[in-house]
């Protein structure tokens, strides 16, 4: 269970009492919820979901298929938390609800298989290479949630040990977007930092397991990650989803050590922005204009999306989207599990991106989360990691874009 030790309801879902009671049903969250925005349906809203949790917890309603659908369709973007005047910990409530649900309901097979692959780096890389080959042979359907060009070679680079900072490399990103890690490392080193990589020993952060309600699995992955990174140095993350998860280890594992580990975790942009003067001047390339897409796990979960702009400012002009940070619909495994809803949600984001492109002439989108990048690239956008844009201006060579 996550959250503090305040009393729990003791009901069917056994949620934290104060968390559940703090929702006053005002509805201010509604427009900030991506699934409510596209369905107009209270059951797809934070307010509705909390009321439904309460009803089941109290035993007033059965957790039937309709109820489960309401819970399964939450992207866990936590946009509602940012909008909530009463600071309802929605993410905690939803995670606890899903954990309670998985105690009685099997996680779908395809998700279980996927999650099993993620925690086995060598298997993941092997399968990825097969996918990459199929991709080169044009044997994969175009709209699969995959990067535009999967790497063929083993992307691993031997990590240094004893660096001043540790770069958390994770699972999918390491296998599919190694160029992002390389760019990030390059930027960090250009700032004078020595960088270690967390590598296979740490492996997957467990975000998707936690999303799916597999609390036990998430917790043991957390233990593995923490054991693999014993150094008392900043743990920097270039994937917003992993960053939010690592920062949540304190409450997930519930030990002082985990809390101390979480406190060392920083989004890489946040770390760079804290001492922006050490970043080198742009020496090559032209100043471009990029559209900033805020990953929910940066904006709502970590609240450090401003740093992306700070870090980009010396190297590129940034354009804001006009959708107030509404989720793009990627949501970890959400785009795989709820493809139609994820596409509907993405339509709003792509419309906003198009408006920004039309008014500013910007062509590329930057996103600090691999899930968002892949999801948006699948809709035809050119999406890059912010630090790829930075790296290019300090080295002058083309980084890989995920778009087509």
Judged by CB under 8 A, the chain residues 298 through 327 that form the site for other proteins are 322
Among 22, 157, 289, 310, binds other proteins (CB under 8 A): 22
Task: Please name which of 343, 326, 325 lies closest in space to residue 334, comparing C-alpha atoms.
Answer: 343
Joined together, the tokens standing for residue 73 give 């369709």
Does residue 66 touch other proteins according to CB under 8 A?
A: yes
Does residue 233 touch other proteins according to CB under 8 A?
A: no
Nearer to other proteins (CB atom), residue 246 or residue 353: 353
Does residue 51 touch other proteins according to CB under 8 A?
A: yes
The count of residues interacting with other proteins (CB under 8 A) is: 38
Q: DSSP letter at 322?
A: S
Give every strand in the sheet of 265-267, ordered side by side. 195-197, 165-168, 235-237, 265-267
Does residue 67 touch other proteins according to CB under 8 A?
A: yes
Alpha-carbon span 404 to 398, nearest angstrom: 15
Does residue 6 touch other proteins according to CB under 8 A?
A: no
Containing 129, the helix (H) or strand (E) segment is: helix 121-136
Does residue 263 touch other proteins according to CB under 8 A?
A: no
Task: Please name which of 244, 208, 248, 206 lies closest in space to residue 2, comparing C-alpha atoms.
Answer: 248
Does residue 13 touch other proteins according to CB under 8 A?
A: no
Does residue 41 touch other proteins according to CB under 8 A?
A: yes
Does residue 130 touch other proteins according to CB under 8 A?
A: no
Joined together, the tokens standing for residue 184 give 């990030």
CB of 187 to other proteins, least distance (A): 31
Joined together, the tokens standing for residue 186 give 């390059």
Among 101, 341, 368, 391, binds other proteins (CB under 8 A): 341
- The beta strands (E) that lie in 94-226 are given as 165-168, 195-197
The residue behind tokens 């008392």 is 232
Are 263 and 277 contacting, i.e. CB atoms less than 8 angstroms apart?
no
Does residue 58 touch other proteins according to CB under 8 A?
A: no
Does residue 84 touch other proteins according to CB under 8 A?
A: yes
Among 40, 141, 256, 361, binds other proteins (CB under 8 A): 40
Task: Please name which of 48, 43, 33 lies closest in space to residue 65, comparing C-alpha atoms.
Answer: 43
3-state SS class at 316:
strand
What is the residue-wise DSSP string for 265-284?
Answer: EEEHHHHHHHTGGGSPPP-S
Nearer to other proteins (CB atom), residue 24 or residue 144: 24
Does residue 351 touch other proteins according to CB under 8 A?
A: no
Among 3, 34, 46, 48, binds other proteins (CB under 8 A): 48
Pick left, alpha or beta for residue 30 (phi over 0 → left; psi -120 to 50 → alpha; otherwise beta).
Answer: alpha
Nearer to other proteins (CB atom), residue 47 or residue 247: 47
Applying CB under 8 A, the span of 63-71, 242-250, 278-286, 296-304 interacting with other proteins comes to: 63-71
Nearer to other proteins (CB atom), residue 69 or residue 257: 69
Among 338, 352, 367, 369, binds other proteins (CB under 8 A): 338
Containing 174, the helix (H) or strand (E) segment is: helix 172-176
Does residue 28 touch other proteins according to CB under 8 A?
A: yes
> Which residues of the chain form contacts with other proteins (CB under 8 A)?
21-31, 39-43, 48, 51-52, 55, 61-62, 64, 66-67, 69-70, 83-87, 322, 338-341, 344
């Amino acid at each position: 269970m996550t959250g503090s030790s305040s009393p729990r309801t003791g009901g069917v879902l056994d949620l934290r009492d104060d968390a559940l009671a703090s929702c006053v049903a005002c509805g201010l969250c509604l427009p900030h919820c991506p699934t409510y925005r596209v369905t107009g349906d209270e059951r797809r809203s934070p307010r509705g979901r909390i009321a439904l949790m309460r009803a089941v917890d109290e035993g007033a309603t059965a957790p039937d298929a309709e109820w489960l659908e309401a819970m399964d369709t939450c992207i866990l973007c936590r946009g509602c938390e940012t909008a909530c005047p009463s600071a309802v910990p929605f993410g905690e409530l939803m995670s606890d609800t899903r954990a309670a649900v998985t105690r009685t309901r099997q996680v779908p097979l395809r998700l279980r298989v996927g999650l099993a692959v993620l925690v086995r780096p060598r298997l993941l890389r092997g399968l990825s290479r097969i996918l990459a080959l199929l991709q080169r042979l044009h044997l994969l359907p175009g709209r699969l949630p995959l990067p535009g060009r999967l790497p063929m070679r083993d992307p691993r680079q031997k990590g240094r040990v004893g660096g001043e900072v540790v770069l958390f490399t994770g699972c999918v990103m390491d296998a599919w977007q190694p160029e992002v890690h390389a760019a990030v490392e390059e930027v960090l080193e250009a700032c004078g930092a020595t960088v270690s990589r967390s590598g296979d020993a740490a492996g997957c952060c467990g975000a998707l397991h936690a999303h799916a309600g597999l609390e036990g699995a998430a917790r043991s992955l957390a233990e593995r990650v923490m054991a693999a990174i014993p150094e008392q140095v900043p743990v920097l993350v270039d994937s917003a989803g992993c960053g939010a998860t690592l920062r949540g280890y304190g409450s997930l594992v519930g030990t002082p050590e985990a809390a101390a580990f979480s406190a060392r975790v920083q989004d890489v942009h946040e770390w760079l922005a804290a001492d922006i003067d050490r970043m080198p001047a742009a020496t090559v390339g032209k100043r471009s204009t990029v559209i900033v897409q805020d990953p929910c796990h940066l904006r709502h979960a970590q609240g450090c999306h401003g740093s992306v702009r700070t870090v980009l400012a010396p190297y590129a002009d940034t354009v804001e989207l006009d959708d107030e940070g509404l989720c793009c619909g990627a949501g970890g495994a959400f785009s795989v599990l709820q493809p139609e809803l994820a596409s509907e949600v993405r339509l709003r984001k792509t419309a906003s991106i198009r408006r920004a492109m039309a008014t500013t002439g910007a062509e590329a989108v930057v996103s600090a989360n691999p899930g968002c990048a892949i999801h948006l690239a699948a809709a035809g956008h050119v999406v890059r990691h912010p630090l790829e844009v930075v790296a290019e201006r300090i080295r002058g060579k083309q980084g890989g874009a995920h778009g087509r």
